[in-house]
Amino acid sequence: MDMAELDAAVSQCRACPRLVEWREEVARTKRAAFRDWTYWGRPVPGFGPHDAALAIIGLAPAAHGANRTGRMFTGDRSGDFLYQALYDVGLASQPHAEHIDDGLELRGTRLTAPVKCAPPENKPTPAERDACRHWLADELRLLTPTLRAIVVLGGFGWQALLPVLAAAGWQVPRPRPKFGHGVRVTLAGPTEITLFGLFHPSQQNTFTGRLTPAMARDVLSAAAAAAGL
């Protein structure tokens, strides 16, 4: 299976009953500001080149963001912050992401998430995280020949990612390294990769100043350098 086939298969998944019901209910009821939209309402595959050297791992699609537009981090405040930062460090072709045909391209970077359906209150259950793990594992396996660095946006993604890397043959230390903003861990394995921790660009972090644009640019710049971008 290649990445295009994987993306197509992901978008058909119905393995988590609670999330299927929620993503489709949100797509039916809509937010008033988006009543003219036909919501995507399905799992959201990763976005970016299939031979990326850098992966960015978020949490899950936002109900009225990627669950509406069908592209990771597209159409919500977290995405506004993230794409501006990616543009600032030369990894995105434009600083905004509004819809799937807006012309945005990522340079050597693939954006994805450990849970590919929008969860109520942005909180997937551990069972849903585990059910979705195989999609992330397949995605990283396909990226392995070119992958050199991973930026993880928050502790949920970090906890989800480490078992995937360990199962795929990377040497994850015990005890497992803890998530933190600015944490950097290099792992030996099928390829040497470096993990970077970055606070999730949720409004709880960006509106409170816990995560500033400069902080995001610093981590993304370091990760781009580690990935050879």
Q: At its nearest, how many Å lie between ligand SF4 and the CB of residue 40? A: 12
Q: At its nearest, how many Å lie between ligand SF4 and the CB of residue 15? A: 4
23 vs 181 by CB, closer to ligand SF4: 23
Type and span of the H or E element at 197: strand 193-198
Phi, psi (rounded to 5 degrees) for 109: -135, 135
Q: At its nearest, how many Å lie between ligand SF4 and the CB of residue 8? A: 12
Cα–Cα distance, 8 to 121 (Å, whole number) = 26
> Side chain identity at 158, as an amino acid letter?
W
17 vs 209 by CB, closer to ligand SF4: 17
Residues of the shown chain interacting with ligand SF4 in the complex, contacts defined by CB under 6 A:
10, 13-16, 19-20, 43, 115-117, 128, 131-132, 135
19 vs 227 by CB, closer to ligand SF4: 19
100 vs 131 by CB, closer to ligand SF4: 131
Residues 6+ apart with CB under 8 A from 210: 199, 204
Q: At its nearest, how many Å lie between ligand SF4 and the CB of residue 116? A: 4
Cα–Cα distances (Å) from 102 to 27, 74, 93, 95, 220, in that order, read 21, 10, 11, 11, 23
Of the CA atoms within 13 Å of residue 174, those in its CB half-sphere come to 2
Secondary structure of residue 150 in the 3-state scheme = strand
136 vs 216 by CB, closer to ligand SF4: 136
Q: At its nearest, how many Å lie between ligand SF4 and the CB of residue 160? A: 11
